[in-house]
Amino acid sequence: MGTTPYLRLDVAVLDRNLAVMADAARAAGVALRPHAKTHKCPQIAARQLAAGAVGLTVATIGEAEVFAAAGFDDLFIAYPLWVDTDAAARLRTLGERVRLAVGCDSAAAAANLAGLPAEVLVEIDSGHHRSGVNPDAAGELAAAISGLGQRVRGVFTFPGHSYSPDARRAAASDEAAALGRAAASMAASGVPAQVVSGGSTPSAEFVASPLTELRPGVYVFGDAQQVELGTIGFERVALTVAATVVSHAGGRVITDAGSKALGADRAPWASGYGRVPDLPEARIVALSEHHSTIEWPGPLPALGSEVLLVPNHVCNAVNLAEEYHLAGGGTWPVAARGRNS
């Protein structure tokens, strides 16, 4: 299929994951706007829309440009942008081609958006404590943005604290409560939220009112984090890194897939640097740039044999590769790889 290490994509599992999330969104009565930063691939985005997604979420202007060029016409850049002259020119070009929305969490940043063909969603902090205003301040910011002549579409958040053991349901509850407060604040300020957007892959199954839109990303592929959080089982992992066994030094398995193929993320609670789906008891215990060290219970796979590894954080692994090798043959490009600005 290719020279290892490479990304191996099982399209049948991918399509099943897309269908499961689309069905869950429909059952919850919310629109699905998946985060394309996970896959960065127009072919996968097209399958998401065919399954019922209303548009795409992206992380950067560069990602938006890639998907706009591929024909996707409803894009939300779900981060607070600080727009300089160059970024403003790029956003203007994008906004003339697609329905564009951007995130904002300060009046100073909003001033840089004035006059651009983009709607705005106010970002609030629902417990992740990264970016976003206090939910009760959403109305004041929405009114300031509206006063600059920009259309405020609504409010959004990212419940990133759902990426912690036993926190998925609580994070979803925090998210719903915070978004409810924010929506009330906006209504009181005369700028009602038409869209109330949130969601992450770990918290998606607990989505609740007042959310009207869901933005999960990792669900398309799954990864070792989602398995260890209990979001999915290994049967739902669509993307793996194919690696070759190059050594049995120390009675362990050494492969040619290191941090430059798997990514280096390891949450404090993770059991290793990735997992082996065909042997759940195995653990990737060390990474160097080009090799992984695996504690492998039982007989070791032969030197030269190929094994499949599940990255901890699939978004990082994808951003390190140029293409997907499909299990049934063929390739798809990681078209927005490296478009980090």
Q: In the listed set 197, 218, 239, which residue is the last one of a domain according to the structure?
A: 218
Written as one string, the DSSP assignment of 21-37 is: HHHHHHHHT-EE--BTT
CATH of the domain at 97: 3.20.20.10
3-class secondary structure, 323? strand
Written as one string, the DSSP assignment of 36-57 is: TTTT--HHHHHHHHHTT--SEE
Do both 166 and 100 map to the same domain?
yes
Do both 267 and 131 map to the same domain?
no
Question: Is residue 152 a part of any domain in this protein?
Answer: yes
Do both 239 and 110 map to the same domain?
no
Give the pLDDT band of residue 317 (cuts 50, 70, 90): very high
Give the pLDDT band of residue 1 (cuts 50, 70, 90): confident
Do both 149 and 281 map to the same domain?
no
Using the structure block, give the residue that is written with the tokens 């070791």: 300
Do both 195 and 269 map to the same domain?
no
Do both 231 and 201 map to the same domain?
no
Q: In the listed set 166, 188, 218, which residue is the last one of a domain according to the structure?
A: 218
Helical residues (DSSP H) of the chain, grouped into ranges = 11-28, 42-50, 61-69, 85-95, 107-113, 138-147, 168-188, 224-229, 259-262, 314-319
For the cut 90, the answer to whether the pLDDT of residue 272 exceeds it is: yes
Do both 122 and 230 map to the same domain?
no
Give the domain extent around 60.
Answer: 11-218
Separation between Cα atoms, residue 203 and residue 215, nearest integer Å: 10
Average pLDDT over residues 262-278: 97
Do both 205 and 291 map to the same domain?
no
Question: Is residue 121 a part of any domain in this protein?
Answer: yes
pLDDT in tens, 228-247: 999 999 999 999 999 999 99
Burial class (CB within 10 angstroms; exposed 0-12, middle 13-18, buried 19+) of 299: exposed
Do both 82 and 121 map to the same domain?
yes
Question: Is residue 2 a part of any domain in this protein?
Answer: no
pLDDT in tens, 2-20: 899 999 999 999 999 999 9
Do both 257 and 112 map to the same domain?
no
